């Protein structure tokens, strides 16, 4: 059966598309993209008034399996991704056991075979992500990991990080680093500044991130590795990366929607869903990140999807788990706050949330063209909805955006030519 999507407003400047087009899908491929395709008995989807773009790639997702299935599973995490308009996610290695060996990576790949979206494994830099002994990086590379990271745990030892970069370079793997000097952050729970003082909470200074960003840039320059900075959150870190790029260092970075939209003031009601790592930063930090977004300086957008159980987020702010469940709100938040407000356009979104992640991870990201894999989404820019965490496909209901009224929502997601998510009429159905 061929599926014909008609009358949609298509954005994909890399493939010269910016206007109304019909898209014909056959099998798992795009058969044709033309201004007018006649219906010859195809299954037809009328996308009049809707936006069609390649389905997004999230390169920073915590699927929690194996070991923390009460928080999330590969199945539920991928269903959340499909609902959010993603066709692929990169799974961070901080599972239990840690993805520092082929057995765990192969387990993830096996579980992913029946998932709603594609899953690309990230291997741990060090054994058990303790920052003490390198993982068998060559073996992990042969198993098919797309990058190396101890995400959630900084590699504090500079010698270990140097050797990791050298090994990663030999296997052409990027290193994704969670930049945090734990000697400075210690048991902090929010950004150190005016609001942490007023709220009586232990702060994490911006310098805790910036010092490690500076160190990793120096080591990346020394080793020639591709360094990717995870969830960059401060003005100082941004300036360090921009200066490094100007002198030719192979460094990229990502920013999360929540760091673009929220500040440390959001913690004022001690809502544990505002507790994230790195923390929500100052108004100035947020402003500078938004300026970088507007200037086209941000390489990647990523959710840092970190689902937790209700109990994980229960109780005092000090003891609640860090993290936001972000896959199902990211696209709508970005549309409502930045695309609709003409701060960025759809093609800029695709650069940061599709093409660049695909390039960094070296995975297929050809966009909307004949012969490409049929990974696309249909977005309804007129849909007005309220974030209801009870309707999340993710097990993690921990979102600071609950109750927010948004305009624009993903309506249909195709992965490999198959419709895996359908929200027409508010169905909110997973179909794989």
For the segment 294-318, the average pLDDT, to the nearest whole number, is 97
- Nearest CA-CA partner of 145 in 76, 91, 96: 91
Give pLDDT tens digits for 329-383.
999 999 999 999 999 999 999 999 999 999 999 999 999 999 999 999 999 999 9
Region of 284 (left: φ > 0; alpha: ψ -120 to 50; beta: rest) is alpha
Give pLDDT tens digits for 231-250.
999 999 999 999 999 999 99
Please give the share of the chain, as a percent, with pLDDT higher than 90: 99
For the segment 167-175, the average pLDDT, to the nearest whole number, is 97
Alpha-carbon torsion angle 324, 350, 110, 143, nearest 10: -110
The phi and psi torsions of 43 (rounded to 5 degrees) equal: -75, 125
Whether the CB-CB separation of 209 and 289 falls below 8 Å is answered with: no
- The C-alpha atoms of residue 260 and residue 257 are separated, in whole angstroms, by 5
pLDDT at 413: 98
pLDDT at 94: 96
- The C-alpha atoms of residue 336 and residue 349 are separated, in whole angstroms, by 13
Structure tokens at 411: 């309506």
Give pLDDT tens digits for 130-165.
999 999 999 999 999 999 999 989 999 999 999 999
Give pLDDT tens digits for 19-65.
999 999 999 999 999 999 999 999 999 999 999 999 999 999 999 99
Q: Biggest alpha carbon distance in the chain? A: 67
Give pLDDT tens digits for 69-90.
999 999 999 999 999 999 999 9
Structure tokens at 406: 């948004």
Helix (H) or strand (E) holding 58: strand 56-61
Structure tokens at 27: 């099998």
Pairing assessment for the beta strands 2-12 and 43-46 based on DSSP bridges = parallel
* pLDDT for residue 97 is more than 90: yes
Q: What is the mean pLDDT of the chain?
A: 97
pLDDT at 268: 96
The DSSP call for residue 66 is: T
- Alpha helical stretches, state H, 145-263: 158-170, 182-185, 194-199, 206-223, 235-246, 257-261
pLDDT at 143: 97
Give pLDDT tens digits for 248-292.
999 999 999 999 999 999 999 999 999 999 999 999 999 999 999
Cis bond leading into 398, ω under 30°?
Answer: no
* pLDDT for residue 1 is more than 90: no
The DSSP call for residue 114 is: T
Structure tokens at 301: 């957008």
Strand partners, 376: 54, 414
Catalytic residues: 304
pLDDT at 87: 98
Structure tokens at 76: 């539920």
For the segment 395-415, the average pLDDT, to the nearest whole number, is 98
pLDDT at 301: 98
- The C-alpha atoms of residue 362 and residue 71 are separated, in whole angstroms, by 29
- Nearest CA-CA partner of 81 in 271, 359, 403, 357: 357
Whether the CB-CB separation of 323 and 306 falls below 8 Å is answered with: yes
pLDDT at 432: 81
pLDDT at 140: 98
């Amino acid at each position: 059966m061929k599926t014909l999507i008609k009358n949609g407003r298509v954005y994909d400047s890399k493939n010269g598309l910016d206007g109304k087009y019909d898209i014909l899908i056959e099998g798992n491929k795009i058969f044709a993209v033309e201004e007018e395709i006649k219906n010859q008995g195809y299954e037809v989807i009328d996308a009049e008034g809707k936006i069609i773009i390649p389905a997004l790639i999230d390169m920073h997702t915590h699927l929690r399996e194996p070991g923390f299935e009460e928080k999330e599973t590969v199945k539920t995490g991928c269903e959340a991704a499909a609902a959010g308009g993603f066709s692929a996610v990169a799974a961070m290695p901080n599972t239990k056991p840690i993805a520092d060996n082929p057995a765990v990576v192969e387990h993830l790949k096996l579980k992913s075979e029946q998932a709603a979206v594609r899953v690309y494994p990230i291997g741990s830099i060090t054994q058990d992500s303790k920052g003490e002994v390198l993982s068998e990086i060559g073996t992990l590379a042969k198993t098919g990991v797309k990058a190396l990271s101890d995400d959630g745990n900084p590699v504090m030892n500079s010698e270990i990080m140097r050797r990791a970069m050298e090994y990663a370079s030999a296997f052409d793997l990027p290193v994704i680093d969670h930049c945090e000097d734990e000697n400075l952050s210690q048991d902090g729970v929010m950004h150190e500044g005016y609001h942490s003082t007023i709220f009586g909470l232990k702060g994490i200074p911006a310098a805790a991130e910036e010092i490690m960003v500076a160190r990793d840039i120096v080591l990346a320059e020394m080793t020639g590795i591709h360094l990717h900075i995870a969830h960059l959150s401060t003005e100082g870190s941004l300036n360090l990366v921009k200066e490094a790029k100007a002198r030719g260092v192979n460094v990229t970075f990502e920013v999360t929607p929540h760091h673009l939209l929220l500040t440390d003031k959001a913690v004022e009601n001690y809502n544990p869903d505002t507790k994230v790592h790195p923390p929500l930063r100052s108004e100035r930090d947020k402003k500078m990140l938004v300026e970088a977004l507007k200037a086209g300086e941000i390489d990647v957008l990523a959710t840092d999807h970190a689902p937790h159980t209700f109990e994980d987020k229960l109780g005092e702010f000090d003891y609640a788990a860090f993290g936001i469940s972000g896959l199902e709100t990211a696209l709508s938040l970005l549309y409502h706050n930045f695309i609709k407000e003409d701060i960025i356009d759809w093609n800029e979104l695709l650069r940061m949330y599709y093409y660049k992640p695909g390039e960094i991870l070296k995975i297929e990201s050809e966009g909307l063209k004949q012969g490409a894999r049929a990974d696309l989404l249909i977005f309804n820019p007129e849909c007005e909805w309220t974030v209801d965490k009870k309707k999340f496909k993710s097990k993690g209901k921990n979102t600071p955006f609950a109750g927010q009224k948004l305009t624009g929502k993903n309506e249909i997601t195709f992965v490999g030519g198959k419709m895996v998510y359908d929200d027409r009429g508010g169905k909110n159905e997973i179909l794989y």
